Structure 1
């Protein structure tokens, strides 16, 4: 199975539509630079601005990563010995790696700016980004079951963005986007950690083979 997966990597790298991810990475890097440049010298302002840029970047890269799960050759490769679930999980892994690289590029200007030792809870922000990217891929995996063109990627991204927008209406202890100095920060991120397996399980369902009767 490992040999088959490795053999799939090169053709899938060539087949994946990387344009949305590339655009999202460039936009995210731009937001990061703007957040660093536009902040006043106070640590509080810098932390707030870069936290916003990091979170927005995770959402943009997640939405764009979903396009990697759209297999435009679904109908022509359905009869090949390689099952759909293996192709889709290979695409998922490629998308996660690409989104991760894009997200860490966003951190470069932030690391340079925070070289003076200003604290930034990177582990918690990585957790948020992981949940965002996996949730976006989960939405795309179900959209890809229904369509095999770019519109499936658009639908997956739209559903994910609607879910994200819905979190903005949550209040109190349900608010998932606290500021770093908020006393509920540790409790909220325990919920983020608890939520991490959910998109993984649903992604496994979305990446299953499609039974045709």
Structure 2
């Protein structure tokens, strides 16, 4: 039954994906890493790594709109679990995001840079963590705020998170330089831990709420109870 439901939801979900912000974030990210390839300047590895990081943030901002659904008010009334709807949207994004990230790294490799090559694995963990935080934040906004649009809130939240990760004292900083002696540990424990926490948050906030909250209305001041968080 679940398989049949997923098959039935595939096409409608694909059509309602927020293609405009996804395409905008992806295009901006590719443009950022592609610009140095057109310049005759040789970039130091630190600068090239930061450009790839900004491209990853651009993609994460586009992913912040993944769970936005203009028809959310109608789909919330059907017996389709919200976790299934969110999972389907996320599953459709994953291959697109993976292909886009491979393109980002391939374009960045064309940029003239001095020193060793890019740390592809570590940067991929950073990009995955930022994107997961973005989608998890969107799920949290929908879970606690209701409505059908979360990208306009989740996007700025990811920017604030990224700025915080870059501004904290060096001991707790995740955005470290590529030549930092703690580079490997930061990615093994810090970024990987953030990725795991974001996935857990997305899962928890995508669950259908079981509590009900009172909504004033009805005749004679009686209260009608509606399910909290219809999305």
Q: TM-score w.r.t. structure 2 length?
A: 0.81
**Normalized per residue, which structure has more helix?**
1
Match of 1:168 among 166, 169, 184: 166
CA distance in structure 2 between the aligned counterparts of 1:210 and 1:76, rounded to whole angstroms: 17
4+ residue segments displaced more than 6 Å = 114-117
Structure 1 residues 117 and 181, CA gap change in structure 2 (3 angstroms): closer
Partner of residue 204, structure 1: 203
Shift of 1:85: 1.2
Shift of 1:143: 1.6
Q: Say whether residues 1:148 and 2:147 are aligned partners.
A: yes
Partner of residue 47, structure 1: 45
Partner of residue 213, structure 2: none
CA distance in structure 2 between the aligned counterparts of 1:199 and 1:122, rounded to whole angstroms: 21
Gap runs ≥5 in structure 1: none
Q: Say whether residues 1:89 and 2:105 are aligned partners.
A: no
Structure 1 residues 173 and 2, CA gap change in structure 2 (3 angstroms): farther
Q: Alpha-carbon deviations, 1:75-121, whole Å to 9, x = none?
A: 21223232211011111222333333322222222234479994221
Q: Say if 1:50 and 1:110, in contact at 8 Å, map to a contact too.
A: yes
Which secondary structure state, in structure 2, belongs to the residue aligned with residue 7 of structure 1?
helix
Q: Say if 1:35 and 1:49, in contact at 8 Å, map to a contact too.
A: no
Shift of 1:61: 0.9
Partner of residue 77, structure 2: 79
Q: Say whether residues 1:26 and 2:27 are aligned partners.
A: yes
CA distance in structure 2 between the aligned counterparts of 1:39 and 1:197, rounded to whole angstroms: 40
Q: CA RMSD in A?
A: 2.3
Residues matched between the structures, number: 209
Larger Rg: 2
**Normalized per residue, which structure has more strand?**
2
Match of 1:103 among 101, 104, 115: 101
